[in-house]
Amino acid sequence: MKTKNWCEFLMVLIFCVISANGIASTGHGSTAPKKVGILLVAFGSSEASAQVSFENIDKQVKAAYPDFPVRWAYTSHIIRAKLAKQGKNLDSPAVALAKMQDENFTHVAVQSLHTIGGEEYHDLRRIVGAFKIMGGFQKIILGYPLMSTQTDMERIVEAVLKSIPNSRKKNDAVVLMGHGTHHPSNAFYAALMFQLQLKDSNIFVGTVEGYPDAELIKELMLRKKIKRAYLMPFMSVAGDHAKNDMAGEESDSWKSIFSQSGIDCVPVLKGTAEYDDFVNIWVDHIRGPLSHFE
């Protein structure tokens, strides 16, 4: 975690220890009434147009689990700070969990809305683990991110195929832009491209900050003499990366890099969370933690 995040977390930790002691002292042998909640945790976005993705997730989760209150948290300190300046206050995961503890939730399903189990997801795991150790909740369990199992991968392949615009022709490429990370889980992107190409050899998966990168994807398309490519973000929201790194007019955007090599580009500015087939994977992952609360 970054220094600011650690400071924030330590403050919450002290609060939670005090709260946990208060809960424990409410009566010898007493058990608080069962109260189950869901905490949805995303990286976050300050782009107003990206909120449609989070609204769709929120709607689908509440429809699937109408009996459980839903709370939200953003892992990105930078995004939370930007939103605060706009008068929109989003909690960090640690603060959100502390508030849920103060609201007397006894069982919490924390659902990651990340695409892969990268650095942000593992930071979240540590936070959930700390709350588990403190004992303020009877049970707190973290759900898997989008790409976690082979079943997830198969569902994602089908979701990608369904999300491709109908105007795309057989010889046109489809390029998915993921975020990428230095974390070992970056390997999921290349694994996804392999499984997608078993269905459609003109679908490619690249990343902004990992492997495969834009230059490699460009070379792969040139080898196949591809003249047109649909560019689609493989991120939950079509935020800054999609608008600028993928579809922007700057010389280092994917659109510019591919266009300069003679490949006509058609950007599609829709995040994965705008498609129900992707959202349903996250929604189904919540059932894992909830099944342990019965």
DSSP string, the chain: --HHHHHHHHHHHHHHHHHHHHHHTTSTT--PPP-EEEEEEE-----GGGHHHHHHHHHHHHHH-TTS-EEEEE--HHHHHHHHHTT-----HHHHHHHHHHTT--EEEEEE--SSSSHHHHHHHHHHHHHHHHTSSSEEEEEP-SS-SHHHHHHHHHHHHHHS-TT--TTSEEEEEE---SSGGGHHHHHHHHHHHTT-TTEEEEESSSSS-HHHHHHHHHHTT--EEEEEE-SSS--HIIIIIIT-SSTTSHHHHHHTTT-EEEE----GGGSHHHHHHHHHHHHHHHHTT-
Q: What is the mean pLDDT of residues 226-250?
A: 95
Q: What is the pLDDT of residue 1?
A: 47
pLDDT at 245 over 80: yes
pLDDT at 30 over 50: no
Q: What is the pLDDT of residue 29?
A: 41
pLDDT band at 248 (very low <50, low <70, confident <90, very high): very high
So which residues are the catalytic ones? 179
Q: What is the pLDDT of residue 13?
A: 54
Q: What is the pLDDT of residue 294?
A: 86
More confidently predicted of 242 and 26? 242
Which tens digit of pLDDT belongs to each residue from 186-218?
999 999 999 999 999 999 999 999 999 999 999
Q: What is the pLDDT of residue 18?
A: 44
